[in-house]
């Protein structure tokens, strides 16, 4: 990975063509499809990913500049080391490809009570 470039797995409103993609679009240097192991929950206007052995979540790997990572941190209200982040930014590997990078996740206890998105796809859920 080039210096100052980061891979981030996105699975909801930051996907290409979705409502928050414009936040990161100026900083995107590459995009490829991907999947991670876990479950996707419907939190209302956006989804939440809980990593785990069960299920696969569809999304995209965005390669972004440092400014892009900062813009995503701001959108996700993530501050490194803060104990009350809505999302945590963690390292993850793709379920099928030799790709790894960051992803924003919910803790399982936070996702409890929200409906599961059985398909693992935010886009497919929105179409129904």
Query: What CATH number did the domain enclosing 85 receive?
Result: 3.10.490.10
Provide mean pLDDT across the span 43-70: 96
Domain assignment of residue 98, given as a range: 5-127
| Residue (of 49, 57, 62, 48) closest to 15 by Cα position | 62
How many structural domains compose the chain?
Answer: 1
Q: Model pTM? A: 0.94
Q: For residue range 62-94, what is the model confidence (pLDDT) as tens digits? A: 999 999 999 999 999 999 999 999 999 999 999
Q: What is the pLDDT of residue 2?
A: 59
| Residue (of 8, 29, 9, 43) closest to 114 by Cα position | 43
Q: Which residues are catalytic?
A: 76
């Amino acid at each position: 990975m080039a210096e100052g470039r980061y891979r981030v797995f996105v699975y909801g409103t930051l996907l290409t063509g979705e409502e928050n993609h414009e936040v990161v679009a100026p900083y995107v240097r590459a995009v490829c499809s991907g999947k991670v192991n876990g479950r996707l929950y419907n939190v209302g206007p956006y989804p939440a990913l809980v990593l785990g052995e069960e299920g696969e979540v569809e999304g995209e790997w965005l390669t972004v500049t440092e400014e892009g990572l900062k813009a995503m941190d701001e959108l996700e209200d993530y501050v490194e080391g803060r104990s009350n982040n809505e999302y945590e930014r963690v390292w993850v590997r793709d379920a099928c490809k030799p790709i790894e990078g960051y992803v924003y996740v919910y803790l399982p206890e936070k996702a409890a009570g929200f409906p599961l998105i059985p398909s693992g796809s935010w886009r497919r859920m929105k179409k129904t």
